[in-house]
């Protein structure tokens, strides 16, 4: 009997010891987010045991006294939290039971960039993982100003842009796209990012010049069109300014008249530049649309692949999320063709070469993703990312994402009403666009496609406006 008791005590001890052991896992690649957005720093337990009774501490490795968030004894204890994180962090209390100890960081600042440690402790066992957070800030559109003439008749053009992080590259291009050498460059680090300023001197009286700011996946460009008429007008204003300096010796009235003239002249220039900028932007949008729509294909929805909660309209062009009442039909549960977890549907048409493009209307939807999937991609209970054969982007949880691994938070200045998706099969490229502005949102690059690719559409906006595959390319 005594032997049995000892044996039971040993077994119980081993069981308790095993239950106390766990591993902390997180993303293997750096996490990229955008200034001002919210981001989730992934961290979880393996196996997925409850973390409700554990100590969960997030802190910065690169800062002293760097508590970012502390959960202990079933509550948040942020007395020693860094001041810059006050009111911006939270763990998901409802997810702790599942072993999810991720941290939500709101309104990301540039100073948030760095290495974060997720440290979990329970009784005598502990483990941790490091999350590398990179922050991007997209700055202002480049502003081109005219800064006078030199003695040889050259026109000084200055381009300036601010609010970028990390440091961007600013380049001048001529009308043929050839890079021009900047004569004066100035880069400054400010609290809200980098300010860059470059100046060139041009001599061609009738030409077009571009100022382009480039940072990782982002680019902004402004152009100026010079003409002999404009340059002659500018020369006249410079002469008048010189005359005004002489007249000021003889009286204030002449100087005031010249000042009024110069003000009006500059205002006219500003309006003219704005009009030229708008016209240039209209031409850019038209050109990009024309280029992409050359590859437009007819896409219809395959009802046999649709999640049971999705309703496919008879025209095969519209999709709505209408949650079914009661239990899902047995035949739906057993079907190998239908999505069972992700509320998605495939297109009927598959593609094995070349380029193709389609557009979808997403106006009124608060949760949607579009993209492509390889033919053999699993449809049962998996995450929709390239690892599982899905290349997608869209909106979820109040922000925009690319479904990479890990997911990438996207910077979208204006909420897209219509999204365009372009695939170059041979180049291994999947790109997403805001159709209205024809601004590039995100691209998967250097992918390897060896199977047929099918368009895929997902909705998580219950009983809202339908997702519509567009065929009107007006």
Model pLDDT for residues 218-254, shown as the tens digit of each residue: 888 888 887 766 555 555 444 333 333 333 333 334 4
Q: Please name the residues in contact with 359: beta carbons below 8 A apart, sequence gap of 6 or more.
A: 296, 418, 419, 420, 421, 435, 469, 470, 473
137-226 and 303-469 have identical folds: no
pLDDT at position 402 is 92
Q: Is 286 left (phi over 0), alpha (psi -120 to 50) or beta?
A: alpha
CB 172 within 8 A of CB 182: yes
pLDDT at position 374 is 95
Domain 303-469 listed as CATH 2.60.120.920? yes
The per-residue pLDDT of the chain, averaged, comes to 82
Domain 137-226 listed as CATH 2.60.40.10? yes
CATH class of 22-135: mainly beta
- Provide DSSP, 335-381: -SSS-SSS-EEEBS--B-SSEEEEEEE-TT-SSEEEEEEETT---SS
- Within its chain, how far is the Cα of 379 from the centroid? 26
**3-class DSSP state of 98:** helix
Domain boundaries, the chain: 22-135, 137-226, 227-291, 303-469
Cβ atoms within 10 Å, residue 346: 25
**3-class DSSP state of 454:** strand
Q: At what angle do helices 252-293 and 228-247 cross, to 10 degrees?
A: 160
Using the structure block, give the residue that is written with the tokens 């020693």: 80
Across the range 253-258, mean pLDDT stands at 41
Taking only the tens place, the pLDDT of each residue in 425-471 is 999 999 999 988 888 888 998 899 999 999 999 998 776 789 999 98
pLDDT-derived band at 15 (thresholds 50, 70, 90) equals very low
CB 393 within 8 A of CB 402: yes
Token readout for 24 is 């902390």
Q: Give the β-pairing of 310-312 and 355-361.
A: unpaired
Higher pLDDT, 311 or 192: 311
Q: Name the pTM for this structure.
A: 0.46
């Amino acid at each position: 009997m005594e032997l049995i008791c000892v044996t039971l005590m040993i077994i119980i001890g081993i069981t308790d010891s095993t239950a106390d052991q766990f591993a902390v896992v997180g993303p293997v690649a750096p996490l990229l987010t955008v200034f001002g957005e919210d981001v989730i720093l992934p961290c979880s337990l393996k196996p997925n045991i409850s973390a409700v009774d554990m100590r969960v501490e997030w802190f910065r490795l690169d800062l002293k006294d760097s508590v970012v968030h502390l959960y202990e004894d079933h509550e948040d204890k942020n007395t020693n939290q860094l001041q810059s994180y006050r009111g911006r962090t939270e763990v998901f209390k409802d997810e702790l039971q599942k072993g999810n100890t991720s941290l939500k960081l709101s309104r990301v600042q540039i100073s948030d960039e760095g290495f974060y440690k997720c440290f979990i402790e329970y009784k005598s066992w502990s483990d941790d993982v490091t999350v590398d957070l990179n922050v991007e800030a997209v700055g202002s559109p480049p502003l081109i100003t005219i800064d006078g003439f030199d003695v040889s008749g050259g026109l000084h053009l200055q381009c300036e842009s601010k609010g970028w992080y990390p440091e961007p590259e600013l380049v001048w291009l001529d009308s043929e796209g050839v890079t021009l050498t900047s004569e004066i460059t100035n880069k400054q680090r400010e609290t809200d990012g980098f300010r860059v300023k470059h100046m060139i001197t041009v001599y061609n009286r009738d030409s077009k010049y571009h100022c382009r700011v480039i940072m990782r996946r982002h680019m902004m460009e402004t152009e100026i069109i010079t003409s002999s008429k404009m340059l002659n007008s500018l020369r006249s204003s410079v002469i008048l300014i010189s005359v005004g300096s002489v007249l000021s010796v003889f009286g204030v009235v002449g100087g005031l008249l010249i000042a009024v003239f110069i003000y009006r002249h500059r205002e006219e220039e500003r309006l003219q530049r704005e009009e030229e900028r708008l016209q240039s932007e209209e031409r850019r949008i038209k050109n990009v649309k024309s280029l992409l729509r050359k590859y437009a294909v007819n896409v219809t929805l395959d009802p046999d692949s649709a999640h049971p909660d999705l309703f496919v309209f008879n025209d095969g062009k519209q999709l709505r999320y209408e949650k079914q009442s009661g239990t899902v039909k047995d035949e739906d549960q057993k079907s190998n063709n239908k999505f069972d977890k992700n509320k998605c549907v495939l297109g009927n048409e598959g593609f094995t070469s070349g380029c193709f493009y389609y557009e979808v209307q997403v106006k009124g939807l608060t949760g949607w993703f579009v993209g492509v999937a390889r033919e053999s991609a699993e449809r049962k209970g998996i995450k929709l990312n390239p690892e599982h054969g899905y290349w997608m982007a869209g909106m979820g949880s109040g922000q925009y994402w690319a479904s990479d691994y890990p997911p990438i938070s996207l910077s979208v200045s204006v909420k897209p009403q219509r999204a365009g998706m372009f695939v170059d099969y041979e180049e291994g490229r999947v790109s997403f666009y805001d159709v209205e502005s024809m601004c590039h949102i995100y691209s998967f690059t250097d992918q390897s496609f060896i199977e047929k690719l099918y368009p895929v559409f997902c909705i998580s906006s219950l009983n809202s406006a339908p997702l519509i595959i567009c065929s009107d390319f007006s």
